[in-house]
Amino acid sequence: MMVQQRASALQVVQPDVAVVEGWADGLHRLVDRIGRHFARAEARERVLTYLQGLMSPVERKNTWQLAEMVGAATPYGFQHLLGRADWDADAVRDEVWAYVTEQLGEPDAIAVLDETSFPKKGTKSVGVKRQYCGALGKKENCQVGVFLAYASSKGHTFLDRELYLPRDWTEDPERRREAGVPEEVEFATKPQLAKRMLERALDGGVPAAWVTGDEVYGGDRRLRMWLEERQQPFVLAVKSTEPLWSEGEGGVRQRPAATLATSIKEEEWQQLSAGEGAKGPRVYDWGRVRLFRLPDPGWDHWLLVRRSLADPAEVAYYVVFGPADTTLGELVHVAGSRWTIEECIETAKGEVGLDQYEVRKWEGWYRHITLTLLAHAYLAVTRAGAQEAEPVKRGAIKPGRSGSMTAFKERQRVSSH
């Protein structure tokens, strides 16, 4: 709801036609960049049309609607692109994070983890299972994708994606075969998928000062230990019951996060903003408790605690690893940046058809999702460029459904007729 309010509150700035045409040229250059990963010229041409369709005002971004938009008699060309054409979705994914790094990269940027669900009927779509569906707020038949986003002062968009494949699938050879799941794919938890994506990005040179994510990732001790081993700072949410090593009465032992939070003295709490919300700064009480860790010069461990001003019983907890001189304000900034991936997911579903696919097989899912991530990244970079070229007026283009995105989609609508 907060993201929706933030987006709807924005005023739209309409650039001139020449500027929007320059954006279209930028899309052609981006497609030229990824072209070497497509074996045939026909597929390279079709991927441009597919991306244009994803960024068009078409209400539903499935292959039938996109084919109608471009005047094709059938959707078979797009279906071939997603299913049988010879191209490497993982290589295009690498181009996505390389492109994002070049255009939005900053040393103090933040890598953000989250997952989203895709409601599906039937049992044939790869990875589908009756499980908690965040999109519907209840247990339902759905697929779940885990995503890695990137947030800097220039903008925010996606870096990577993985499909969560439940054990029901990994242990069923017949279902795997029908859905085209590669033989080497084994069961992996969501935190394990997150680690896989982080490792690719960080080893690939994506600059990120911090990693953040919700309790799904913060509650996985192995993920936290792996980040510590590579000295990658993080602020990860945990449950109130998360056992954490601390030193106190009785010596060094594990204590629940909620118990440790009670050691923060009233005068130690600070009112700080976690960023701008729909109604202004999101101000909370914040405090932290130093956790026990083996000596490691220059680094420290904390429990970060957020307390609601309106209801002090409403408390959130984060495990932190970072440079010993990190200020409380910086930790609050990182913790508050989680909204960026929530907005990325919302705008990707609303603007570029992240969830509007009809593919059932493994390769088709990865191909469609990768191309929607590329489309979203292009729009984010275009928006950043527009902001840099012309200083933003109060209430003008800001993260969300910005004027640049709206104008680009309108230009796509006009050019398709």
224 part of a folded domain: no
332 part of a folded domain: no
Residue 208 pLDDT exceeds 70:
yes
State pLDDT tens for residues 143-167: 999 999 999 999 999 999 999 999 9
Residue 274 pLDDT exceeds 70:
yes
Structure tokens at 292: 């026990």
Q: Residue with structure tokens 């060094």?
A: 252
CA 167, 170, 173, 178 torsion-angle sign: positive
Are residues 55 and 130 both part of a single domain? Answer: yes
Residue 194 pLDDT exceeds 80:
yes
Are residues 249 and 130 both part of a single domain? Answer: no
Residue 385 pLDDT exceeds 90:
no
- 266 CB contacts (<8 Å, ≥6 apart)? none
69 part of a folded domain: yes
CA 310, 315, 320, 325 torsion-angle sign: positive
Neighbours of 65 (CB within 10 A): 17
Are residues 348 and 397 both part of a single domain? Answer: yes
Q: Residue range 136-140: average pLDDT? A: 90
Are residues 345 and 301 both part of a single domain? Answer: no
| C-alpha–C-alpha distance, residues 166 and 129, integer Å | 8
> What is the helix (H) or strand (E) element at residue 408, kind and residue range?
helix 403-415
Determine the structural domain holding residue 376 and report its residue range: 2-213+340-415
Mean pLDDT estimate for the chain:
88
Worst-scoring range by mean pLDDT, 14-28, 177-191, 265-279?
Answer: 14-28
Residue 109 pLDDT exceeds 90:
yes
Q: Residue range 55-78: average pLDDT? A: 90
228 part of a folded domain: no
129 part of a folded domain: yes
Of 302, 325, 348, which residue sits at a domain end?
A: 325
Q: What are phi and psi of 310, to 5 degrees?
A: -75, -35
Beta strands at 234-238 and 243-248: parallel, antiparallel or unpaired? unpaired
Are residues 202 and 91 both part of a single domain? Answer: yes
What are the Cα distances from residue 387, in Å, to 4, 102, 105, 213, 412? 21, 17, 16, 28, 20
State pLDDT tens for residues 352-370: 999 999 999 999 999 999 9
What is the share, in percent, of the chain residues with pLDDT greater than 70?
87
Neighbours of 105 (CB within 10 A): 18
Are residues 196 and 307 both part of a single domain? Answer: no
Of 290, 325, 360, which residue sits at a domain end?
A: 325
pLDDT value of residue 360: 95
**How many domains does the chain divide into?**
2
| C-alpha–C-alpha distance, residues 171 and 179, integer Å | 13
More confident residue, 112 or 138: 112
Are residues 71 and 37 both part of a single domain? Answer: yes
Are residues 305 and 360 both part of a single domain? Answer: no
| C-alpha–C-alpha distance, residues 40 and 80, integer Å | 12
Residue 193 pLDDT exceeds 50:
yes
20 part of a folded domain: yes
pLDDT value of residue 2: 40
Residue 386 pLDDT exceeds 60:
yes
- 181 CB contacts (<8 Å, ≥6 apart)? 126, 165, 169, 170, 175, 362
Instruction: Go through 259-284 and write b for each residue having 16 or more CB atoms within 10 A of its CB, e for each that does not.
Output: ebbeebeeeebeebbbeebeeeebeb
Are residues 31 and 154 both part of a single domain? Answer: yes
One-letter amino acid at 293 equals R
Query: Which of 24-33, 197-206, 295-304 is modeled with the greatest confidence?
Result: 197-206
Quick one: which of 181, 148, 149 has its CA closest to 166? 181
Are residues 14 and 162 both part of a single domain? Answer: yes
Residue 13 pLDDT exceeds 70:
no
pLDDT value of residue 18: 59
In this prediction, residue 409 has a pLDDT band, given cuts at 50, 70 and 90, of: very low
Residue 283 pLDDT exceeds 70:
yes
143 part of a folded domain: yes
Residue 9 pLDDT exceeds 80:
no
pLDDT value of residue 393: 41
Residue 296 pLDDT exceeds 60:
yes
More confident residue, 11 or 43: 43
Q: Residue range 278-305: average pLDDT? A: 90
Are residues 45 and 103 both part of a single domain? Answer: yes
Are residues 245 and 389 both part of a single domain? Answer: no
Of 267, 298, 325, which residue sits at a domain end?
A: 325
In this prediction, residue 84 has a pLDDT band, given cuts at 50, 70 and 90, of: very high
pLDDT value of residue 401: 35
In this prediction, residue 14 has a pLDDT band, given cuts at 50, 70 and 90, of: low
219 part of a folded domain: no
Residue 402 pLDDT exceeds 90:
no
